Amino acid sequence: MPNIIRLILLLFPWISIVFLPKKAFRQYLPVSLFTSLLVTGMCLLAVPYKWWVVKGGWKHKVFNDGSFVFGPFLVGTLWIFHLTFGNLKRYLGVNLLMDLFFSFPLSYLFQ
């Protein structure tokens, strides 16, 4: 069951890319990949530096982090940049709301 949830978490957000204009996808994909790689690096450093504890070892950590970072995080970054480009206040507001959403409700759900 956890593998099915991880797979859904990875693939389901990519369905929304159909509604993203092709130009916006090409324009914001590099920054989305860059931020996803930064988050992946942070996740890799989290265990040795004991920023948080992961049950199940490295295998579960890699699958959990990968399904989140390259699923909703990457796609969400694409959408945030597309919807807020050119308006710093809107970007800061939407980014704050998404950070709060990812930090508290989703963090509790993933535990």
Indicate the pTM of the whole model. 0.87
Residue 110: the pLDDT is 65
Residues, the chain, total?
111
More confident residue, 35 or 101: 35
Residue 34: the pLDDT is 98
State the burial class of residue 71 (Cβ atoms within 10 Å of its Cβ: 0-12, 13-18, 19+): buried
pLDDT in tens, 56-108: 777 778 888 898 899 999 999 999 999 999 999 999 999 999 888 878 876 76
State the burial class of residue 33 (Cβ atoms within 10 Å of its Cβ: 0-12, 13-18, 19+): middle
Amino acid at 52: W
The answer to whether the CB of 13 falls within 8 A of the CB of 75 is: yes
Q: Look at residue 3 and tell me whether its pLDDT is greater than 70.
A: yes
Sequence spans of domains, the chain: 2-10+21-110
Residue 111: the pLDDT is 64
